[in-house]
Amino acid sequence: MLKYIDNKILYDYNKCQQCGICDAICPKHAISFELQHNGTHKVIVDNDKCIRCKRCVNSCPVNKCEEYKNYFDSFKDKKYFLGYNSNDKVRRESSSGGVCKTLIIEGLRSGYIDGVYTLKKTDKYPYAEGEFYTKENIPDYCDLPNSIYHSVMACTNVNRIERCNRLMIVGTSCQLRALEKIAKSRCNELIKICIFCKQQKTLDSTRFLAKIIGEKINNDKKFYAQYRGTGWPGIVKINNSSLPWHRAAQLPFGRRLWTVPGCDVCGDSYGIESNADITLMDPWIIRERNELGETLITVHTEKGLKILKDIHNIVLEAKSYIEVEPALSLKDVWRKQRLVPFFRGEECGDKIIKAGKAELRQRKLLSCIAKKLPRMPILFYRILCKAPDFRNKILK
C-alpha cells in the first residue's frame, strides 16, 4: 500500500495486495520491485525521482475504501449458473469449468469484445504476467493460465491496453479496482470479470504443497507448477509429482496460512465494490469431484447476463439461490470483512480484536508445525485441519 505523507510516498508491505499498478502508472519510473524469498514483491519508491503526482497512491487498490454496506443484501436476487466450455478437453483442463477462458477467447473470436486485459503464461517466476489481447492477437486456451494461487502482479502491463470499443478486464477484486481508472479511459464500454478470491498465497504455500508431494522449490524459483485442471477440482502438480487439489489445499486455504498480507485488508471477494459484472468461482460443496468440471457464476449486472448469453461455447445451467448458497462462502466472506478493520489497524471492538489475535496465533502455530516437521503423511495434515478454527469460533 502506498500513502502520501509529509511530501513523501511511503510503502506499507503489510497492506500491499501485490497488484503492481504503481510501477505501471508512474510517469518517472520511480518505482521498482524487490522479489522476496516468499515470492511476493516489496515496492521500492525512489523519492528523489518521484514528482509527487500521487498517481500511484490514487491507483493503489487498498486506498479505494471498501465499505461492505449492504454487501450481502442482494445475493438472493442475483442470477446464478453452473457453466462450462462445450469442449470436454478445455473443460477438464481448466481451473473449474473453463468459463473464464471461454469468455476471453470466444469473446474476441466472435467480435463481441475487441480487447481483453488478463494474464498470459510465461516461463519464469511467477509464470504469468498481464497481457492485452485483441482480435489480431487472440490467445489459445493453452496460452492462458489456470488459477495461479501464488501472487502474480497482474497489473504491471496495463500500459499495453489500447483504445477499444468494448474492453473486458479479468482479475481478482483488488486487480479490478487497480485497473478500473486506466481501463475506463481506454474504452467506450468496460466489462469486468471477477475471479472470486479470499486470498492470494505467498510462495511459502507452494513450498508447503511441494513438500507434501515430495518435491522441492529451489531458491532460484525455477519450478513447474500446475494448479488445477484434470477434472474438478483437479490436481496440483509441482515439478514431476501431483496430488488431488482437495487434499493438498485443505490446510493452506482452509486455515488461511501463507496469505499475501494485503489480502487481509480486503473483504470484497466477489468484486462487488469493484463493480464486477460477473464473479467466477468453484462449486464447492454443491458438486462432487468429477472428470470434467464446472464454474459457478454469480451475475451482478444485466451486462454480465448479456455477455454470458451472447458468447458461444459456454453451456449454462441456471440455478436458484437456494441451490448454490452452500457454495457461495458468504459466512466466510462475512468473517473476513469483520476482521478487515483489525488488519488495517483501525479502531475495533473487543470481540474483533480477540478474533484477530486468535487468527494470527493460529496461523503462526499451524504454519510453524507445517514448516518445521519433516514431510508427514497427508492424513496428518487432514487431522490438523480438524482442530477448532479460533477465528470462526469467536465470530460464529
Work out which of 107, 171, 267, 271 binds ligand FAD, going by CB under 6 A: 171
Q: In this chain, which of 16, 82, 179, 281 binds ligand FAD, going by CB under 6 A?
A: 281
Question: Which is closer to ligand FAD, CB of 269 or CB of 367?
Answer: 269
Interface with ligand FAD includes 101 (CB under 6 A)? yes
Asked whether position 94 contacts ligand FAD by CB under 6 A, the answer is yes
Q: Check binding of 119 to ligand FAD (CB under 6 A).
A: yes
Task: Identify residue 8 by its one-letter amino acid code.
Answer: K
- Which of 4/157 has CB closer to ligand FAD? 157
CB of 176 to ligand FAD, least distance (A): 9
CB of residue 306 to ligand FAD, shortest distance in Å = 18
Largest CA distance in the chain: 57
Give how far the C-alpha of residue 321 lies from the chain's centroid of Cα atoms, to the nearest Å. Answer: 23
Smallest distance, Å, CB 101 to ligand FAD?
3
* Binder of ligand FAD out of 9, 31, 155, 170 (CB under 6 A): 170
Task: For residue 280, report the phi and psi dihedrals to the nearest 5 degrees.
Answer: -115, 135
Q: Which helix (H) or strand (E) holds 10?
A: strand 8-11
Q: 280 exposed, middle or buried (CB, 10 Å; 0-12, 13-18, 19+)?
A: buried
276 binds ligand FAD (CB under 6 A): no
Give phi and psi for 167, each to the nearest 5.
-110, 135
Q: What DSSP character marks residue 28? A: T
Residue from 195, 248, 272, 311 in contact with ligand FAD (CB under 6 A) = 195
Q: Is 237 in the site for ligand FAD (CB under 6 A)?
A: no
* HSE value, Cβ hemisphere, 13 Å, CA-based, for 175: 29
**DSSP, res 161:** P
- Burial letters for 214-223: b for 16+ Cβ neighbours within 10 Å, e otherwise? ebebeeebeb
Give the nearer residue to ligand FAD in terms of CB position, either 4 or 112. Answer: 112
Number of residues lying near ligand FAD (CB under 6 A): 33
Note whether 370 binds ligand FAD by CB under 6 A: no
280 versus 340: smaller Cβ distance to ligand FAD? 280
Distance from C-alpha of 102 to C-alpha of 294, rounded to nearest angstrom? 12
Q: How far is the CB of 194 from ligand FAD (least distance, A)?
A: 9
Q: Is 96 in the site for ligand FAD (CB under 6 A)?
A: yes
Do residues 16 and 1 touch, judged by C-beta distance below 8 A? yes
For residue 79, what is the DSSP state? Answer: E
Write out the residues near ligand FAD by the rule CB under 6 A: 94-101, 104, 118-119, 144-149, 152, 154, 170-172, 175, 195-198, 200, 280-282, 284, 295
